[in-house]
Chains A and B, each alone.
Chain A
Amino acid sequence: MKYSLPSPSFGNILKRTALPFLIFAAALMGLLTISYTLLLPKLTQVEVAGERRSAVQMRSHVQRLEASILNMQETRDQLIVPLQEGLYGDAKREKFSVPNLTVLRSQILELAAQIVPSQNDAVVVTHIRFLSDEGVLELSGEVRHVGPRSMTVLAQFVDAVKELPRVTNVELPSFKREHNETVGYYSPFTFRCLFE
């Protein structure tokens, strides 16, 4: 004898699963709430110097520590080099903001000597004038012993000076080529470099 159960309707399935589903969801949420409020803080807090701290507390602790270090560093620096502040400190900063002329001059003379590799006297700087309040260095001299290329070499020299550290601009010289019996072709120059 065969028995066949009537196939349950969708409504019946829903009716029978509604309560278990509700209980499951409530239990899941309850467990997760307990885990989040009680278990997770215990597992994720870090113990530092006898105190337990969460990530947020740790971040603010480190920020406080860094601020305190900066503060103490300033205090320590003022004690170690006490005259860095005030009028004297400002005066020193003003003095050292001007380029070191010894270094600057040797850099320029070195450039002049190296601009034509085979001939270190091609660019002769005869006059250097430095005006501190205008932040200007004025260079005068001649390019010689390079034949008709003297104007090209002068342009190369000006470009090289422009690349020096702290030079912000170069007021271009007038490029001209002259000739005399003794040195042949030569290009006299005078130009100004501006400093930051």
Chain B
Amino acid sequence: MSVINSCYRRTRTGGSFLLGFTFIFCSAMLLFAHASVVQEVKSVSIPLVARLPDLERREQALKEQIELSQLNAAVQVGSNGEKLDTYVMPRETSYDRIVLVFDLLRDSLKRQKKLSSLSEIIIDDPVPLALDGVHGRPLKTELTVHEDGLTSILLLARISGLLTVGDALNEEEIAMLLRSTEEENPAGITSLEQFLSSSLLRYSRDPRAYQDQLRRSFTSAAFERVLQSVTQTSLLRDAQRLFEGDFGRELDEQGLWPIQFMTVDEIDVLQGGAEGWYKLKLRLLIWEKE
């Protein structure tokens, strides 16, 4: 009997210790879980809470901007889309418009003594392009131009086909402007929208007027810095250089804006007889929709 009692007591003692150690192990796990939660709060929640006000402010600003932009968008897209189909990338090139643009540039450069001759303009049958849905009609001509005239011709090829101020800016430049509006005055998005959808030609002829209109909605020095950086380093500056004289005025007066989309296919610049003068062989591709 005493042997049975002794066995029972030993088992009870052993069981108590076993269960006790199991509880201790579970307690250690729970302590570890406590530490993990505290660590998570420190490393996740606190930084996230710090970011939240900025994120919520951006969300609110964007909501407001979308509501305001939706009002103008339908009208803008309609009118610019029509111009795109009719003038920028038509199904049939309007040869008289193209030739007239080159005529006006030739006259303007001749008046400035930056061009001495422009040969005949030859427009060939279309060739396929890398993009689907379009083909390119080669335009070939030869010119004798001064350094500045050469720059104007190359700028014309680069700027042709661009319709609005927004078209002359790259994604990064547009993002800089948009971010500034969010930070300073989300409601000013309509002014920015109007600025970006302004005709590139009209802007280039009087950039100050368009910029001042935008400045009425954004008065901070930070926005001014962004605006200056965007307008002075982008294609807007080149457009201003090309269109600020009588070439831009005549394009506007004769309704030749927008110019059909063109890209440089081949260009051959040979040093001319006099210093600063060049013989230029130019082959452009005029884009047409198929």
CB proximity of A50 to chain B, nearest CB, Å: 13
Residue B222 lies at the interface, judged by CB distance under 8 Å to chain A: no
Stretch at the interface among B115-123, B126-134, B213-221, B223-231: B126-134
B13 close to A94 (CB less than 8 A) = no
Given known contacts A91-B89, A102-B151, A132-B266, A81 and B44 CB-to-CB distance under 8 angstroms: no
Residue B77 lies at the interface, judged by CB distance under 8 Å to chain A: yes
| Partner of A132 from B20, B51, B178, B265 at Cβ < 8 Å | B265
Stretch at the interface among B97-105, B106-114, B164-172, B248-256: B164-172
B30 close to A29 (CB less than 8 A) = yes
Digitize B126-169: 1 where CB-to-A-CB distance is under 8 Å, 0 elsewhere. Answer: 00001101100000000000000001001100100111101100
Residue A2 lies at the interface, judged by CB distance under 8 Å to chain B: no
CB proximity of B32 to chain A, nearest CB, Å: 10
B37 close to A87 (CB less than 8 A) = no
Given known contacts A82-B76, A88-B88, A133-B265, A55 and B27 CB-to-CB distance under 8 angstroms: no
Main secondary structure of the interface of A (DSSP, over half): helix
Given known contacts A28-B23, A36-B34, A65-B55, A79 and B73 CB-to-CB distance under 8 angstroms: yes
A81 close to B263 (CB less than 8 A) = no
A73 close to B263 (CB less than 8 A) = no
- Chain A count of residues within 8 A CB distance of the other chain: 64
Residue A66 lies at the interface, judged by CB distance under 8 Å to chain B: yes
B37 close to A18 (CB less than 8 A) = no
| Partner of A88 from B41, B89, B130, B155 at Cβ < 8 Å | B89
A21 close to B17 (CB less than 8 A) = yes
- A19: B residues at CB distance < 8 A: 16
- B20: A residues at CB distance < 8 A: 18, 21-22, 24-26
How far is it, in angstroms, between the C-alpha of A21 and the C-alpha of B262 when the chains are bound?
Answer: 89
| Partner of A126 from B48, B131, B158, B271 at Cβ < 8 Å | B271
Stretch at the interface among A40-48, A161-169, A174-182: A40-48
- B23: A residues at CB distance < 8 A: 22, 25-26, 28-29
Residue B193 lies at the interface, judged by CB distance under 8 Å to chain A: yes
How far is it, in angstroms, between the C-alpha of A62 and the C-alpha of B133 when the chains are bound?
Answer: 42
B59 close to A69 (CB less than 8 A) = yes
Residue B63 lies at the interface, judged by CB distance under 8 Å to chain A: yes
- B199: A residues at CB distance < 8 A: none
Residue B192 lies at the interface, judged by CB distance under 8 Å to chain A: yes
- B9: A residues at CB distance < 8 A: 15
| Partner of B267 from A68, A79, A101 at Cβ < 8 Å | A101
| Partner of B270 from A26, A44, A127, A133 at Cβ < 8 Å | A127
B66 close to A79 (CB less than 8 A) = yes
A79 close to B69 (CB less than 8 A) = yes
B154 close to A101 (CB less than 8 A) = yes
Given known contacts A87-B133, A91-B131, A25 and B24 CB-to-CB distance under 8 angstroms: yes
Residue A76 lies at the interface, judged by CB distance under 8 Å to chain B: yes
Given known contacts A59-B48, A130-B267, A75 and B66 CB-to-CB distance under 8 angstroms: yes
How far is it, in angstroms, between the C-alpha of A67 and the C-alpha of B130 when the chains are bound?
Answer: 34
B37 close to A76 (CB less than 8 A) = no
Given known contacts A83-B80, A127-B271, A128-B269, A33 and B30 CB-to-CB distance under 8 angstroms: yes
* New A-B contacts (7) at CB < 8 Å, excluding given A26-B20, A55-B37, A58-B44: A25-B20, A36-B34, A44-B37, A58-B45, A68-B59, A126-B271, A130-B266
